[in-house]
Copies of this chain bind each other. A is one copy, B any other.
């Protein structure tokens, strides 16, 4: 933990989005159930959500490794979805419906603490997304979910994906702040560690429900992080943002 004096230097907070700010799993299940009703599909949407998300890191790894040229998350999501059409028996979906289903990632619901927490934090800090989602995805999501970002920052602006240090450095450069004045907020150990690696302040958020009520919460050594909180209200409390 840092001393209060160090935390006083913070001017901006950057947030991981998928899992930290929005509950992608429940959102996808909910849209899937609406689709099931309308089209009579007998799909296990929880399993589909998990399989879709499981394809996410390997797809980004291919970009980071240079095996794929720079490719937006929207297009990676679509590549993964295309591979799930057969196993999940989605063949009756037309191109327009698949396109729209892929855009579910623009329409994710925030965790219940998020909008209120961000509003409190925004009074004292610059608050920005710092997600692997592309700028347009994050912009549409902010509109949909009422996320009051001061600016939308994305790995897309660095042309590579987290946890490449260049993503965090690009964010600090665009905010015109030294990394010590920016706190990365995320529910994923690798993300927070990578931010710490470039000198940013760090807050780890517990999101035990990210992978569903039956998944085991990850075991994380939180000792390297400046703050460890249960949600964004807890973050606002810890930073004394009223």
Contact = CB atoms under 8 A, between A and B. Distances in A.
Contact of A126 (B122, B126, B139, B175): B139
Interface string A140-160: 101100000111100011000
B174 A151 contact: no
A139 B150 CA distance: 6
Determine the interface band of chain A, counting residues with CB < 8 A from chain B: 20 to 34
A128 B140 CA distance: 12
Nearest to A177: B136
A203 interface: no
B138 A151 contact: yes
Contact of A174 (B122, B156, B174, B176): B156
| Residue from the set A128, A134, A136, A149 with the largest chain B CB neighbour count within 10 Å | A136
Contacts of A150: 139, 142-143, 152
A175 B143 contact: no
B74 A135 contact: no
Interface of A: 72, 74, 122, 126, 128, 134-136, 138-140, 142-143, 149-152, 156-157, 174-177
